[in-house]
Amino acid sequence: MKKQLLALGMGTLMLLPALCGVAACGGGGGENKDGKSYNITVWVGEGTDTLTKQQIQRFNETNEDGVTFNANVLIVSESKAVGDASSKPQSCADIFCFAQDQLARAVHGNLLMPLNTGSVNAITSSCDERSVEGAKIGGSIRAFPLTYDNGYFMYYDKRVVKEEHIGSLEDILADVDAYKGEDGLPRNFSMNLTDDGGSWYSASFFYATGCESEWTTDDEGNFIDYSDTFNSEQGLIALKGMQKLLKFPKYNASAEVSDFSAGIPSAVVVSGIWGYNAAKTALGDNLGIAPLPSFWVDANGNGQKDEGESYQLKTYLGSKFMGIKPQSDPYRAAYLQKLAQFLTNEQCQRERYDAVGWGPSNKAAAEAATTSPALNALNDSATTPQGQYPTGWWAKLDVMVGNAKTSTGDDASLNALLSTYSNALNELKKS
Partner 1 sequence: MSKRETMELAIGGEMLPMRFLMKYSYQGEKYAAFTPACGADPSDEEGVALTHIVSAETKSKERTRQRLLFRLLTAVTCILCIIPVLCVLLTALVFVLQPDFWWVGMSGMIVAVADLIVLIPVARALARARKDRKEQKRRETAYEVLPGEGNGEVFSEFEIRYRIIEKLSKNEPLSMLEYQRLNIWRKFLYRSKMFFRGIPGWFGRKFKRLGLRLKAFGISIWENIKDIGATFKNGSWKTRVSYFFMGFGNLSHRQVLRGVLFFLFEVIFVGFMVLSGGHWLGKFGTLGTTRLEKVYDPVLDVWVDKHIDNSFKILLYGLLTIFFIAAFVYTWRLNVKQCRILDEITATGKRVKSSKEDIQSLADNEFHKTLLSLPVLGIVMFTVLPIVFMILVGFTSYDFENDGYNNLFTWCGLDNFNRVFAFGSKLSLAFGEILAWTLIWAVVATFSNYFLGMFVAMMINKKGIKIKKFWRTILVMTIAIPQFISLLYVSNLFADNGIVNATLMRWGWIDSPIRFWGNGTLAKVMVLVINIWVGIPYLMLITTGILMNIPADLYESAQIDGANAFQQFCKITMPYMLFVTGPYLLTSFVSNINNFNVIYLLTQGGPEHTAWGEVGGYIAGDTTILITWLFGITTGPEASYKMASVIGTLIFLVVSILSLVVFTIMPSTRREEDYA
**Nearer CB in complex with partner 1: 98/296:** 98
- E strands, 153-265, are 153-157, 188-190, 213-217, 223-228, 251-252
**Nearer CB in complex with partner 1: 195/380:** 195
Q: To the nearest 10°, the Cα dihedral for 206, 207, 212, 214?
A: 110
- List CB contacts of 388: < 8 A, sequence separation 6 or more: 101, 103, 104, 137, 215, 217, 221, 223
Q: How far is the CB of 414 from partner 1 (least distance, A)?
A: 14
**Nearer CB in complex with partner 1: 5/299:** 5
**Nearer CB in complex with partner 1: 108/314:** 108
> For the chain, what's the residue count?
431
Q: In angstroms, what is the C-alpha Rg of the chain?
A: 27
Q: How far apart are CA 9 and CA 67, in angstroms?
A: 54
Q: How far is the CB of 89 from partner 1 (least distance, A)?
A: 5
Q: How far is the CB of 170 from partner 1 (least distance, A)?
A: 20
**Nearer CB in complex with partner 1: 86/234:** 86
Residue 151 CB coordination number (10 Å): 24
Q: To the nearest 10°, the Cα dihedral for 383, 387, 393, 395?
A: 60
Q: How far is the CB of 352 from partner 1 (least distance, A)?
A: 26
Residue 99's DSSP bridge partners are 320
Q: How far is the CB of 17 from partner 1 (least distance, A)?
A: 4
Q: How far is the CB of 372 from partner 1 (least distance, A)?
A: 28
**Nearer CB in complex with partner 1: 93/366:** 93
Chain residues in the site for partner 1 (CB under 8 A):
3, 6-7, 10-11, 13-18, 20-22, 24-25, 83, 86-87, 89-90, 105, 108-111, 113-114, 116-118, 183-186, 188, 194-196, 249-250, 252, 259, 262-266, 326-331, 333-334, 337, 391-392, 394-396, 398-400, 402-403, 406
DSSP 87-123: HSTTTS-SEEEEEGGGHHHHHHTT-SPPP-HHHHHHH
